[in-house]
Structure 1
Protein backbone atom coordinates (compact mmCIF):
# COMPACT_ATOMS: atom_id res chain seq x y z
CA UNK A 1 0.00 0.00 0.00
CA UNK A 2 1.50 3.33 -1.09
CA UNK A 3 0.23 5.12 2.01
CA UNK A 4 1.95 2.81 4.49
CA UNK A 5 5.17 2.90 2.46
CA UNK A 6 5.13 6.69 2.52
CA UNK A 7 4.41 6.87 6.26
CA UNK A 8 7.20 4.44 7.11
CA UNK A 9 9.64 6.35 4.92
CA UNK A 10 8.58 9.65 6.50
CA UNK A 11 9.22 8.37 10.02
CA UNK A 12 12.64 7.12 8.92
CA UNK A 13 13.49 10.49 7.37
CA UNK A 14 12.68 12.19 10.68
CA UNK A 15 14.74 9.77 12.76
CA UNK A 16 17.82 12.02 12.72
CA UNK A 17 15.73 14.67 14.52
CA UNK A 18 14.90 12.15 17.28
CA UNK A 19 11.15 12.97 17.39
CA UNK A 20 9.31 12.46 20.66
CA UNK A 21 6.19 11.43 18.72
CA UNK A 22 4.64 11.32 15.26
CA UNK A 23 0.84 11.17 15.04
CA UNK A 24 -1.81 11.02 12.32
CA UNK A 25 -5.16 12.77 12.57
CA UNK A 26 -7.90 13.57 10.05
CA UNK A 27 -9.29 10.92 7.71
CA UNK A 28 -6.34 8.55 8.14
CA UNK A 29 -6.95 8.29 11.88
CA UNK A 30 -10.76 8.44 11.67
CA UNK A 31 -11.05 5.44 9.35
CA UNK A 32 -12.36 7.44 6.38
CA UNK A 33 -9.11 7.65 4.43
CA UNK A 34 -9.27 7.29 0.64
CA UNK A 35 -5.87 6.59 -0.88
CA UNK A 36 -5.03 9.02 -3.64
CA UNK A 37 -7.87 11.37 -2.64
CA UNK A 38 -7.37 12.12 1.06
CA UNK A 39 -4.50 14.13 2.47
CA UNK A 40 -2.17 12.65 5.08
CA UNK A 41 -2.47 14.95 8.11
CA UNK A 42 0.39 14.46 10.57
CA UNK A 43 1.85 16.03 13.69
CA UNK A 44 5.46 15.55 14.79
CA UNK A 45 6.73 16.51 18.24
CA UNK A 46 10.45 17.34 18.20
CA UNK A 47 12.57 17.23 21.36
CA UNK A 48 13.92 20.79 21.32
CA UNK A 49 13.78 24.22 19.70
CA UNK A 50 13.05 24.44 16.00
CA UNK A 51 16.22 26.27 15.00
CA UNK A 52 17.14 27.31 11.45
CA UNK A 53 19.23 24.17 11.21
CA UNK A 54 16.26 22.02 12.20
CA UNK A 55 14.07 23.81 9.65
CA UNK A 56 16.60 22.97 6.95
CA UNK A 57 16.62 19.31 7.97
CA UNK A 58 12.82 19.20 7.94
CA UNK A 59 12.68 20.70 4.45
CA UNK A 60 15.31 18.23 3.27
CA UNK A 61 13.36 15.30 4.73
CA UNK A 62 10.23 16.32 2.85
CA UNK A 63 12.18 16.92 -0.37
CA UNK A 64 13.48 13.35 -0.23
CA UNK A 65 9.90 12.05 -0.24
CA UNK A 66 8.92 13.70 -3.50
CA UNK A 67 9.73 10.61 -5.55
CA UNK A 68 7.04 8.60 -3.74
CA UNK A 69 3.38 8.44 -4.79
CA UNK A 70 1.07 10.50 -2.55
CA UNK A 71 3.93 12.59 -1.10
CA UNK A 72 2.35 15.84 -2.31
CA UNK A 73 -0.58 15.19 0.03
CA UNK A 74 1.53 14.61 3.13
CA UNK A 75 1.19 17.54 5.53
CA UNK A 76 2.96 17.78 8.88
CA UNK A 77 3.02 20.35 11.67
CA UNK A 78 6.01 20.38 14.03
CA UNK A 79 5.56 20.94 17.76
CA UNK A 80 7.89 20.68 20.74
CA UNK A 81 7.01 19.62 24.31
CA UNK A 82 7.41 23.22 25.47
CA UNK A 83 5.16 24.73 22.77
CA UNK A 84 2.51 22.02 22.30
CA UNK A 85 0.21 23.32 25.06
CA UNK A 86 -0.22 26.82 23.56
CA UNK A 87 -3.38 26.77 21.39
CA UNK A 88 -2.57 30.14 19.83
CA UNK A 89 0.98 29.37 18.82
CA UNK A 90 1.79 29.12 15.11
CA UNK A 91 3.96 26.08 14.48
CA UNK A 92 6.24 25.26 11.58
CA UNK A 93 4.22 23.29 9.01
CA UNK A 94 4.96 21.53 5.73
CA UNK A 95 1.89 21.46 3.47
CA UNK A 96 1.22 21.96 -0.23
CA UNK A 97 4.96 21.41 -0.76
CA UNK A 98 6.06 24.48 1.18
CA UNK A 99 6.91 25.58 4.72
CA UNK A 100 4.83 28.09 6.66
CA UNK A 101 3.40 28.47 10.18
CA UNK A 102 -0.09 27.69 11.48
CA UNK A 103 -1.87 26.77 14.69
CA UNK A 104 -3.00 23.31 15.72
CA UNK A 105 -6.75 23.85 15.95
CA UNK A 106 -9.01 22.60 18.73
CA UNK A 107 -10.57 20.20 16.20
CA UNK A 108 -7.17 18.67 15.43
CA UNK A 109 -6.34 18.44 19.13
CA UNK A 110 -9.65 16.71 19.84
CA UNK A 111 -9.09 14.29 16.96
CA UNK A 112 -5.68 13.39 18.34
CA UNK A 113 -7.08 12.65 21.78
CA UNK A 114 -10.16 10.80 20.49
CA UNK A 115 -8.68 8.63 17.75
CA UNK A 116 -5.20 9.86 16.83
CA UNK A 117 -2.96 7.20 15.31
CA UNK A 118 0.49 6.91 16.86
CA UNK A 119 3.08 6.34 14.14
CA UNK A 120 6.06 6.74 16.45
CA UNK A 121 6.83 7.46 20.10
CA UNK A 122 4.49 8.71 22.79
CA UNK A 123 0.69 9.08 22.52
CA UNK A 124 -0.97 12.54 22.63
CA UNK A 125 -2.07 12.19 26.26
CA UNK A 126 0.55 13.89 28.41
CA UNK A 127 1.92 15.99 25.56
CA UNK A 128 -1.25 17.81 24.50
CA UNK A 129 -3.71 19.21 27.04
CA UNK A 130 -7.35 18.16 26.52
CA UNK A 131 -9.73 20.59 24.81
CA UNK A 132 -12.71 21.83 26.82
CA UNK A 133 -16.15 21.48 25.23
CA UNK A 134 -16.73 25.24 25.12
CA UNK A 135 -13.39 25.85 23.43
CA UNK A 136 -14.26 23.34 20.71
CA UNK A 137 -17.75 24.76 20.15
CA UNK A 138 -16.46 28.34 20.06
CA UNK A 139 -13.86 27.38 17.49
CA UNK A 140 -16.16 25.60 15.01
CA UNK A 141 -18.78 28.36 15.21
CA UNK A 142 -16.15 31.08 14.78
CA UNK A 143 -14.66 29.22 11.80
CA UNK A 144 -18.07 29.11 10.13
CA UNK A 145 -18.74 32.79 10.86
CA UNK A 146 -15.33 34.31 10.15
CA UNK A 147 -13.95 32.09 7.38
CA UNK A 148 -16.65 30.14 5.53
CA UNK A 149 -19.41 32.77 5.58
CA UNK A 150 -17.26 35.56 4.06
CA UNK A 151 -15.90 33.10 1.48
CA UNK A 152 -19.44 32.59 0.17
CA UNK A 153 -19.43 36.20 -1.04
CA UNK A 154 -16.62 35.27 -3.45
CA UNK A 155 -18.70 33.48 -6.09
CA UNK A 156 -15.85 32.25 -8.36
CA UNK A 157 -14.40 30.14 -5.52
CA UNK A 158 -17.49 27.95 -5.54
CA UNK A 159 -16.97 26.75 -9.10
CA UNK A 160 -14.04 24.72 -7.71
CA UNK A 161 -14.55 21.20 -6.39
CA UNK A 162 -12.53 21.71 -3.23
CA UNK A 163 -14.64 24.65 -2.01
CA UNK A 164 -17.93 22.85 -2.61
CA UNK A 165 -16.67 19.66 -0.96
CA UNK A 166 -15.08 21.21 2.09
CA UNK A 167 -17.69 23.92 2.49
CA UNK A 168 -20.54 21.43 2.80
CA UNK A 169 -18.65 18.82 4.82
CA UNK A 170 -17.20 21.36 7.25
CA UNK A 171 -20.64 22.88 7.82
CA UNK A 172 -22.19 19.50 8.67
CA UNK A 173 -19.33 18.61 10.98
CA UNK A 174 -19.49 22.01 12.70
CA UNK A 175 -23.25 21.65 13.18
CA UNK A 176 -22.89 18.29 14.95
CA UNK A 177 -19.96 19.49 17.04
CA UNK A 178 -21.78 22.66 18.11
CA UNK A 179 -25.01 20.83 18.94
CA UNK A 180 -23.70 17.59 20.40
CA UNK A 181 -20.05 18.24 21.32
CA UNK A 182 -18.71 15.37 19.22
CA UNK A 183 -16.60 14.95 16.09
CA UNK A 184 -17.82 13.12 13.00
CA UNK A 185 -16.08 11.81 9.88
CA UNK A 186 -16.48 13.19 6.37
CA UNK A 187 -18.57 10.16 5.41
CA UNK A 188 -20.91 10.80 8.34
CA UNK A 189 -21.14 14.46 7.33
CA UNK A 190 -22.22 13.51 3.80
CA UNK A 191 -24.84 11.16 5.19
CA UNK A 192 -26.24 13.94 7.42
CA UNK A 193 -26.27 16.78 4.90
CA UNK A 194 -29.57 15.93 3.14
CA UNK A 195 -31.30 15.90 6.54
CA UNK A 196 -29.83 19.33 7.21
CA UNK A 197 -31.46 20.64 4.04
CA UNK A 198 -28.49 20.50 1.67
CA UNK A 199 -29.29 19.99 -2.04
CA UNK A 200 -29.22 16.22 -2.63
CA UNK A 201 -27.73 16.43 -6.11
CA UNK A 202 -24.76 18.41 -4.83
CA UNK A 203 -24.21 16.04 -1.90
CA UNK A 204 -24.17 13.09 -4.30
CA UNK A 205 -21.72 14.96 -6.53
CA UNK A 206 -19.38 15.37 -3.56
CA UNK A 207 -19.82 11.73 -2.56
CA UNK A 208 -18.96 10.50 -6.05
CA UNK A 209 -15.72 12.47 -6.08
CA UNK A 210 -14.68 11.11 -2.72
CA UNK A 211 -15.78 7.49 -2.94
CA UNK A 212 -16.67 6.60 -6.55
CA UNK A 213 -15.66 7.42 -10.11
CA UNK A 214 -17.07 10.89 -10.80
CA UNK A 215 -18.46 11.95 -14.14
CA UNK A 216 -16.75 14.82 -15.94
CA UNK A 217 -18.77 17.91 -14.99
CA UNK A 218 -20.21 20.20 -17.64
CA UNK A 219 -19.79 23.94 -17.44
CA UNK A 220 -23.51 24.29 -16.75
CA UNK A 221 -23.41 21.83 -13.85
CA UNK A 222 -20.39 23.57 -12.37
CA UNK A 223 -22.29 26.87 -12.41
CA UNK A 224 -25.50 25.32 -11.10
CA UNK A 225 -23.63 23.48 -8.35
CA UNK A 226 -21.95 26.70 -7.20
CA UNK A 227 -25.31 28.48 -7.06
CA UNK A 228 -27.03 25.65 -5.20
CA UNK A 229 -24.20 25.37 -2.68
CA UNK A 230 -24.07 29.09 -1.97
CA UNK A 231 -27.87 29.41 -1.80
CA UNK A 232 -27.87 26.65 0.82
CA UNK A 233 -24.84 27.58 2.90
CA UNK A 234 -25.45 31.31 3.28
CA UNK A 235 -28.67 30.99 5.34
CA UNK A 236 -27.54 27.73 6.96
CA UNK A 237 -24.33 29.24 8.33
CA UNK A 238 -26.14 32.43 9.36
CA UNK A 239 -28.65 30.37 11.32
CA UNK A 240 -25.99 28.23 12.98
CA UNK A 241 -23.81 31.14 14.06
CA UNK A 242 -26.76 33.28 15.18
CA UNK A 243 -27.83 30.59 17.61
CA UNK A 244 -24.44 30.84 19.39
CA UNK A 245 -23.98 34.63 19.42
Structure 2
Protein backbone atom coordinates (compact mmCIF):
# COMPACT_ATOMS: atom_id res chain seq x y z
CA UNK A 1 0.00 0.00 0.00
CA UNK A 2 1.22 3.52 -0.78
CA UNK A 3 0.67 6.55 1.42
CA UNK A 4 -0.79 9.82 0.09
CA UNK A 5 2.70 11.15 -0.68
CA UNK A 6 3.38 7.96 -2.69
CA UNK A 7 5.87 6.64 -0.14
CA UNK A 8 5.37 3.08 1.12
CA UNK A 9 3.21 2.70 4.20
CA UNK A 10 5.22 1.59 7.25
CA UNK A 11 5.59 -2.11 7.92
CA UNK A 12 3.56 -2.94 11.01
CA UNK A 13 5.75 -4.22 13.87
CA UNK A 14 5.66 -8.00 14.27
CA UNK A 15 4.91 -7.64 18.01
CA UNK A 16 1.46 -6.22 17.25
CA UNK A 17 0.41 -8.00 14.03
CA UNK A 18 -1.46 -10.92 15.65
CA UNK A 19 -3.27 -8.50 17.94
CA UNK A 20 -4.30 -6.27 15.04
CA UNK A 21 -5.59 -9.25 13.07
CA UNK A 22 -7.73 -10.35 16.01
CA UNK A 23 -8.89 -6.79 16.65
CA UNK A 24 -10.08 -6.53 13.06
CA UNK A 25 -11.73 -9.95 13.24
CA UNK A 26 -13.70 -9.00 16.35
CA UNK A 27 -14.64 -5.63 14.87
CA UNK A 28 -15.95 -7.31 11.71
CA UNK A 29 -17.86 -9.83 13.82
CA UNK A 30 -19.64 -6.99 15.64
CA UNK A 31 -20.37 -4.67 12.70
CA UNK A 32 -20.59 -7.03 9.72
CA UNK A 33 -21.58 -5.22 6.52
CA UNK A 34 -21.85 -1.93 8.44
CA UNK A 35 -18.07 -1.80 8.84
CA UNK A 36 -16.53 0.72 6.42
CA UNK A 37 -12.90 0.62 7.49
CA UNK A 38 -10.36 -0.05 10.24
CA UNK A 39 -7.21 2.06 10.21
CA UNK A 40 -4.00 2.23 12.20
CA UNK A 41 -3.19 5.85 12.99
CA UNK A 42 -0.79 7.55 15.40
CA UNK A 43 2.71 6.12 15.79
CA UNK A 44 1.88 2.97 13.79
CA UNK A 45 0.89 5.09 10.79
CA UNK A 46 3.90 7.40 11.09
CA UNK A 47 6.40 4.55 11.47
CA UNK A 48 7.41 5.47 15.02
CA UNK A 49 5.82 2.71 17.13
CA UNK A 50 8.08 1.77 20.08
CA UNK A 51 7.21 -1.49 21.76
CA UNK A 52 6.94 -0.99 25.50
CA UNK A 53 6.41 2.75 25.11
CA UNK A 54 3.78 3.43 22.42
CA UNK A 55 0.03 2.96 22.39
CA UNK A 56 -1.85 1.35 19.52
CA UNK A 57 -4.11 3.96 17.92
CA UNK A 58 -7.01 2.65 15.85
CA UNK A 59 -9.79 4.46 13.99
CA UNK A 60 -12.93 2.50 13.07
CA UNK A 61 -15.48 3.92 10.62
CA UNK A 62 -18.96 2.43 10.36
CA UNK A 63 -22.12 3.08 8.38
CA UNK A 64 -24.22 5.86 9.86
CA UNK A 65 -27.14 3.43 10.11
CA UNK A 66 -25.21 0.90 12.24
CA UNK A 67 -27.15 -0.06 15.39
CA UNK A 68 -26.32 1.88 18.53
CA UNK A 69 -25.84 -1.32 20.52
CA UNK A 70 -22.91 -2.32 18.31
CA UNK A 71 -20.56 0.22 19.84
CA UNK A 72 -21.18 -1.26 23.29
CA UNK A 73 -20.62 -4.75 21.90
CA UNK A 74 -17.34 -3.66 20.33
CA UNK A 75 -16.11 -2.11 23.57
CA UNK A 76 -16.79 -5.39 25.37
CA UNK A 77 -15.23 -7.48 22.59
CA UNK A 78 -11.85 -5.69 22.46
CA UNK A 79 -11.41 -4.57 26.07
CA UNK A 80 -8.17 -5.65 27.79
CA UNK A 81 -7.51 -8.25 29.17
CA UNK A 82 -10.27 -10.12 27.33
CA UNK A 83 -8.28 -9.22 24.24
CA UNK A 84 -4.82 -8.81 25.70
CA UNK A 85 -3.13 -5.68 24.37
CA UNK A 86 0.60 -6.19 23.71
CA UNK A 87 1.32 -2.46 23.77
CA UNK A 88 1.04 -0.01 26.64
CA UNK A 89 -2.58 0.42 25.62
CA UNK A 90 -5.21 0.60 22.90
CA UNK A 91 -6.81 3.91 21.98
CA UNK A 92 -9.72 3.06 19.69
CA UNK A 93 -12.18 5.57 18.28
CA UNK A 94 -15.33 4.76 16.28
CA UNK A 95 -16.94 7.30 13.92
CA UNK A 96 -19.88 7.07 11.60
CA UNK A 97 -18.97 7.47 7.94
CA UNK A 98 -20.88 10.74 7.47
CA UNK A 99 -18.95 12.45 10.24
CA UNK A 100 -15.60 10.87 9.36
CA UNK A 101 -15.89 12.16 5.80
CA UNK A 102 -16.68 15.73 6.89
CA UNK A 103 -14.12 18.45 7.76
CA UNK A 104 -15.61 18.99 11.21
CA UNK A 105 -13.10 19.81 14.00
CA UNK A 106 -15.44 18.35 16.66
CA UNK A 107 -14.78 15.16 18.62
CA UNK A 108 -17.73 13.46 16.93
CA UNK A 109 -17.08 9.90 18.04
CA UNK A 110 -19.53 7.09 18.67
CA UNK A 111 -17.05 5.35 20.97
CA UNK A 112 -13.83 6.47 22.57
CA UNK A 113 -12.16 3.45 24.18
CA UNK A 114 -8.92 3.41 26.13
CA UNK A 115 -7.84 0.03 27.46
CA UNK A 116 -4.64 -1.84 28.14
CA UNK A 117 -1.94 -2.57 30.70
CA UNK A 118 -0.87 1.04 31.32
CA UNK A 119 -3.88 3.11 30.23
CA UNK A 120 -6.58 4.24 32.64
CA UNK A 121 -9.72 2.56 31.26
CA UNK A 122 -12.20 4.75 29.39
CA UNK A 123 -15.32 3.76 27.47
CA UNK A 124 -17.16 6.91 26.39
CA UNK A 125 -20.18 6.70 24.09
CA UNK A 126 -21.12 10.40 24.02
CA UNK A 127 -18.83 12.95 22.38
CA UNK A 128 -20.92 16.03 23.17
CA UNK A 129 -18.88 18.30 25.39
CA UNK A 130 -15.59 16.50 24.74
CA UNK A 131 -12.69 18.68 23.54
CA UNK A 132 -12.25 17.98 19.85
CA UNK A 133 -8.62 18.83 19.30
CA UNK A 134 -6.98 15.40 19.78
CA UNK A 135 -9.58 13.73 17.58
CA UNK A 136 -9.23 16.36 14.84
CA UNK A 137 -5.45 15.90 14.83
CA UNK A 138 -5.75 12.10 14.76
CA UNK A 139 -8.13 12.26 11.79
CA UNK A 140 -5.76 14.61 9.96
CA UNK A 141 -2.85 12.22 10.57
CA UNK A 142 -5.06 9.32 9.53
CA UNK A 143 -6.05 11.06 6.30
CA UNK A 144 -2.40 11.68 5.47
CA UNK A 145 -0.76 8.45 6.60
CA UNK A 146 -3.29 6.00 8.05
CA UNK A 147 -2.67 2.31 7.37
CA UNK A 148 -5.74 0.42 6.17
CA UNK A 149 -6.27 -2.80 8.13
CA UNK A 150 -9.67 -3.47 6.56
CA UNK A 151 -12.09 -1.82 4.15
CA UNK A 152 -11.97 1.20 1.92
CA UNK A 153 -8.83 3.34 1.34
CA UNK A 154 -8.28 5.71 4.21
CA UNK A 155 -8.31 8.90 2.12
CA UNK A 156 -11.79 8.00 0.85
CA UNK A 157 -13.07 7.67 4.41
CA UNK A 158 -11.28 10.17 6.69
CA UNK A 159 -11.34 13.88 5.91
CA UNK A 160 -9.03 16.36 7.66
CA UNK A 161 -10.45 19.52 9.22
CA UNK A 162 -10.01 22.77 7.32
CA UNK A 163 -6.59 24.32 7.96
CA UNK A 164 -7.74 27.13 10.29
CA UNK A 165 -9.66 24.61 12.40
CA UNK A 166 -6.72 22.21 12.39
CA UNK A 167 -4.34 24.95 13.50
CA UNK A 168 -6.78 25.81 16.27
CA UNK A 169 -6.74 22.15 17.33
CA UNK A 170 -2.95 22.15 17.26
CA UNK A 171 -2.88 25.27 19.43
CA UNK A 172 -5.23 23.62 21.93
CA UNK A 173 -3.02 20.50 22.02
CA UNK A 174 0.04 22.60 22.90
CA UNK A 175 -1.94 24.37 25.62
CA UNK A 176 -2.95 20.97 27.01
CA UNK A 177 0.66 19.77 27.04
CA UNK A 178 1.79 23.02 28.64
CA UNK A 179 -0.44 22.19 31.60
CA UNK A 180 1.60 19.02 32.12
CA UNK A 181 -1.34 17.04 33.46
CA UNK A 182 -1.03 13.35 32.61
CA UNK A 183 1.74 13.75 30.05
CA UNK A 184 5.36 12.66 30.22
CA UNK A 185 7.79 15.54 29.72
CA UNK A 186 9.50 13.87 26.75
CA UNK A 187 6.16 13.45 24.96
CA UNK A 188 5.24 17.07 25.65
CA UNK A 189 8.48 18.24 24.06
CA UNK A 190 8.33 15.92 21.05
CA UNK A 191 4.67 16.70 20.43
CA UNK A 192 5.73 20.34 20.33
CA UNK A 193 8.42 19.47 17.80
CA UNK A 194 5.88 17.69 15.61
CA UNK A 195 3.61 20.74 15.87
CA UNK A 196 6.32 23.10 14.67
CA UNK A 197 7.27 20.83 11.77
CA UNK A 198 3.60 20.67 10.75
CA UNK A 199 3.33 24.47 10.89
CA UNK A 200 6.43 24.82 8.73
CA UNK A 201 5.78 22.06 6.21
CA UNK A 202 2.07 21.23 6.29
CA UNK A 203 2.89 17.56 6.90
CA UNK A 204 2.66 15.31 9.95
CA UNK A 205 5.85 13.52 10.88
CA UNK A 206 6.81 11.03 13.57
CA UNK A 207 7.60 12.78 16.84
CA UNK A 208 11.15 11.42 16.90
CA UNK A 209 11.82 12.61 13.35
CA UNK A 210 10.37 16.01 14.22
CA UNK A 211 12.60 16.11 17.31
CA UNK A 212 15.70 15.51 15.22
CA UNK A 213 14.68 18.26 12.80
CA UNK A 214 14.06 20.78 15.56
CA UNK A 215 17.26 19.84 17.42
CA UNK A 216 19.23 20.51 14.23
CA UNK A 217 17.45 23.79 13.47
CA UNK A 218 16.94 25.42 16.88
CA UNK A 219 20.16 25.71 18.88
CA UNK A 220 18.39 27.30 21.85
CA UNK A 221 16.38 24.12 22.47
CA UNK A 222 18.81 21.50 21.17
CA UNK A 223 19.83 20.13 24.56
CA UNK A 224 16.24 19.81 25.76
CA UNK A 225 15.02 18.11 22.56
CA UNK A 226 17.98 15.71 22.48
CA UNK A 227 17.25 14.75 26.09
CA UNK A 228 13.60 14.12 25.13
CA UNK A 229 14.76 11.90 22.26
CA UNK A 230 16.94 9.89 24.62
CA UNK A 231 14.11 9.60 27.11
CA UNK A 232 11.51 8.36 24.63
CA UNK A 233 13.71 5.35 23.87
CA UNK A 234 13.20 4.20 27.47
CA UNK A 235 10.16 2.49 29.04
CA UNK A 236 7.62 4.92 30.46
CA UNK A 237 8.55 4.11 34.03
CA UNK A 238 12.18 4.99 33.26
CA UNK A 239 11.55 8.26 31.42
CA UNK A 240 14.13 10.95 32.11
CA UNK A 241 13.24 13.98 34.19
CA UNK A 242 13.42 17.11 32.03
CA UNK A 243 13.76 20.63 33.50
CA UNK A 244 10.29 22.06 34.05
CA UNK A 245 11.39 25.61 33.23
CA UNK A 246 13.00 24.46 30.00
CA UNK A 247 9.93 22.50 28.94
CA UNK A 248 7.71 25.48 29.73
CA UNK A 249 9.88 27.87 27.72
CA UNK A 250 9.97 25.48 24.80
CA UNK A 251 6.19 25.04 24.71
CA UNK A 252 5.72 28.81 24.97
CA UNK A 253 7.90 29.14 21.86
CA UNK A 254 5.86 26.45 20.12
CA UNK A 255 2.64 28.31 20.88
CA UNK A 256 4.19 31.41 19.32
CA UNK A 257 4.99 29.46 16.16
CA UNK A 258 1.40 28.20 15.97
CA UNK A 259 0.01 31.70 16.55
CA UNK A 260 2.17 33.07 13.74
CA UNK A 261 1.02 30.32 11.40
CA UNK A 262 -2.61 31.08 12.27
CA UNK A 263 -2.07 34.76 11.47
CA UNK A 264 -0.41 33.93 8.18
CA UNK A 265 -3.18 31.52 7.18
CA UNK A 266 -5.82 34.15 7.95
CA UNK A 267 -4.01 36.76 5.87
TM over 0.5: yes
Determine the structure 2 residue equivalent to 1:98.
122
Say if 2:107 and 2:136, in contact at 8 Å, map to a contact too: no
Alpha-carbon distance between aligned partners in 1 of 2:235 and 2:80, rounded to the nearest angstrom: 31
Alignment partner of 1:163 is 2:184: yes
**TM, length-normalised to structure 2:** 0.73
Q: Which runs of 4+ in 1 moved over 6 A?
A: none
Say if 2:107 and 2:135, in contact at 8 Å, map to a contact too: no
Determine the structure 1 residue equivalent to 2:208.
187
The aligned runs of 1:1-245 (5 Å cut-off) are 1-16=14-29, 17-18=31-32, 19-49=35-65, 51-63=67-79, 65-66=81-82, 68-70=84-86, 73-86=89-102, 87=104, 88-91=106-109, 92-95=111-114, 96=119, 97-100=121-124, 101=127, 103=132, 105-144=135-174, 146-149=175-178, 151=179, 157=181, 162-194=183-215, 195-197=217-219, 199-211=221-233, 222=241, 225-234=243-252, 236-243=253-260, 244-245=262-263
Structure with a larger share of its residues in helix: 1
Q: Which runs of 5+ in 1 are unaligned?
A: none
Residue 164 of structure 1 and its aligned partner are, at CA, apart by 1.1
Residue 120 of structure 1 and its aligned partner are, at CA, apart by 0.6
Say if 1:23 and 1:43, in contact at 8 Å, map to a contact too: yes
Aligned alpha-carbon RMSD (Å): 3.0
Cα 1:81/1:108, change in 2 over 3 Å:
same
116-125 or 127-136, larger mean C-alpha shift:
127-136
Q: Which has the larger radius of gyration?
A: 1
Q: Residue deviations 1:158-194, cap 9 Å, x none? A: xx7x331222112111112222222121121210232
